[in-house]
Amino acid sequence: MIGLMFFAFMPWSRMITAKNDFVHFYIGGLYYGHPEIFSPEANYAKQRELIGATLEHSFFGRPAFYGFFLKPLTWLGYMPAYWLFQFGSLVALAIFLKLNMRRYDRLLPLCLMSPALAANFVNGQDVMYLMLFCSISLACIEKDWDLLAGLALAACAIKPHLFVMTPLAAVFFKRWRVLAGGAIGGAVLIALSLASGGLKSQLELMRQLGNPEHSPYPDLMPSLRSLTGDHNGAFLALALAVIAATAWLMYRSRSYESAFGWALIGGLLAAYHAYIQDCLLLILAIALLADELTKTARALLLVTILPFAYLALAAGYPYSGVFPALLLAVIVAQLANSLRVRSAQPVLARA
């Protein structure tokens, strides 16, 4: 009921009419191999053709290899492709729950009332697929199929900025074959990207990503940008501090899985470009960290994931700053406990 209530207040008509972010993915598939795959002008023209309108500040801005994997959807008309994509997200959700319910028995109700999950479908986004790739990678880790785990994780490069810290989990726990799998998968993806317009096209993507228009409305982001706005210097300083603190917690983690969970939290907080649907990663994070978090840190993370914190996020600045502040509090609470335990160890050793 809580989930339905939040869904009712979202612009759900975007989902019904398919006038949402899926149009960019469809265009990325159409334009894969085309020199104008990252041209805003070409994207806007195709948007008008497909949905009769243009979405402000919005065009295909993912790595070009993603267009290769989206290409089969373009063999269908726009609306059939859209509903197939959404159905795929539902299947990804079911597999995610099957693979992770044993980690955290409250996973299903958290998903059902998550505004982030509703936003994923309303906005025609693909974060549920990222959750699937992560879950497959973690399942491979449990079976010691580390090379396959790295290959599955490489697929998360469709949103690489959210996963910049995940390789540290493999480094700290000496899972070198995970890194090898990621490197092999990454090399294949780079080759597929270069096959769409060569180096010139990839440089155009970098130029477009550097355009502030590509990351608008910082006051609605769940990351540090809700606190810093367009003050890039302040954002960079805070992001580096978060990365350092999260790396320490990853280093002190009990397992690869819990280090991976911290990487998801740190990656979301330090992301320059993140929106409500990306908060879905926090649900996987709490499943991975539930047994390791202190009581205070677990309560804070749960409060962040529960739907009511999203009311502050949706309210814009300064209220939206509550969301990243809660995530910062999770890190600080766990960090304080980690340092306290570390300082007590010499005393225990002498005793």
Name the band, by pLDDT with cuts 50, 70 and 90, for residue 348.
very low
Give the rounded percent of residues in the chain with a pLDDT score beyond 90: 75
Query: What is this structure's pTM?
Result: 0.93
Count of the separate structural domains present in the chain: 1
What three-state secondary structure class fits 146? helix
Is 91 within 8 Å of 68 (Cβ atoms)?
no
pLDDT at 17: 93
Name the band, by pLDDT with cuts 50, 70 and 90, for residue 345.
low
Q: pLDDT tens across 26-35, in order?
A: 999 999 998 8
Q: Could you tell me the two tokens for 16? A: 């019904």
Q: pLDDT tens across 186-195, in order?
A: 999 999 999 8
Could you give the maximum distance between any two Cα atoms of the chain, in Å?
A: 75
Q: pLDDT tens across 49-71, in order?
A: 999 998 877 888 899 999 999 99
Which residue range(s) make up the domain with 26? 2-350
Q: What is the mean pLDDT of residues 176-182?
A: 97
Task: Give residue 109's Cα distance to chain centre.
Answer: 20
Q: pLDDT tens across 207-264, in order?
A: 887 777 778 888 999 999 999 988 889 999 999 999 999 999 999 999 999 999 999 9
Angle at 293 between CA 287 and CA 295, to 5 degrees: 115
Higher pLDDT, 210 or 179: 179
Q: At what angle do helices 146-154 and 127-142 cross, to 10 degrees?
A: 170
pLDDT at 6 > cutoff 50: yes
